[in-house]
Amino acid sequence: MRKIRDKRNNRGVSLVELLVALAVGAIVVSALTVLMTQGLKQYNKHTIMTQLQEDADIALNNISNSIMEANFIVISNSNVNTTFQTSSSTKGGNSVVYQHKDGCLYMGTSVADPDAMGLLCKNVEEFKIDVVSTSLRTETVNETGTIQHKVIGINNPVQLKVTLKLEFNGITREVSRVTSVRNRLSSADMTMQGFLFSNAPYMEQFDSYIAYD
């Protein structure tokens, strides 16, 4: 009688208990999968942001060095093709040109010669050069009933604000840096958006590329 009673008590796991165990196991596995996926996404995001920051720092360091040694500045901002020249060989310096084109930032001596341009930074969504407002001397004029600000001189040291915006896989990193030119510049040494400063252009003609902060 005892052996029969023991066999009845050792009946195993019922179908309901097995289903409950499988459901609990599935919930645990799903939770672990979500945590691992989120952790992997955060790790990838952090890795990409770190790489973008490093790339931006390398490019900004290079551009800042060129700005500090500049003896002639030509700025042409564009959504499609931004070019920036920091020195002129005719003034005893080495011409350095930066060009933003097709999502990349190139550096060289002449945009007219592709072989003279080398890749400086990839994944560039925006490259912008602003003149800090305190670098310009202006006077207020009223012509045809409109108040405008005419550029009448340069305040040395000239300061330029460089903005780089990098993007990769939907992750963006934007950095800016203000750098002062070591050499003394005159109005004839600066051109902005095609306007030579010695020709006394109006700031309103390139106001979106003036940094007021």
3 in any annotated domain:
no
95 in any annotated domain:
yes
User: How far from each other are the two terminal CA atoms of the chain, in whole angstroms?
Assistant: 95
Dihedral sign for Cα 21, 27, 30, 31, please. negative
Contact 121, 56 (CB under 8 A): yes
Q: Give the Cα separation of 123 and 55 in Å (integer).
A: 9
Tens digit of each residue's pLDDT (9 = 90 or more) over 118-169: 999 999 999 999 999 999 999 999 877 888 889 999 999 999 999 999 999 8
Question: 133 burial class (0-12, 13-18, 19+ CB within 10 angstroms)?
Answer: middle
Q: 3-16 burial, b for 16+ CB within 10 Å, e for fewer?
A: eeeeeeeeeeeeee
Tens digit of each residue's pLDDT (9 = 90 or more) over 173-195: 999 999 999 999 999 999 888 88
pLDDT of residue 8: 55
25 in any annotated domain:
no
137 in any annotated domain:
yes
97 in any annotated domain:
yes
pLDDT of residue 93: 62
175 in any annotated domain:
yes
pTM higher than 0.85, yes or no? no
The overall average pLDDT reported for the chain is 84
DSSP state letter for 158: P
Domain region containing 186:
34-211
Query: Quick one: what percent of the chain has pLDDT higher than 90?
Result: 37
20 in any annotated domain:
no
8 in any annotated domain:
no
- Could you give the number of structural domains in the chain? 1
pLDDT of residue 102: 87
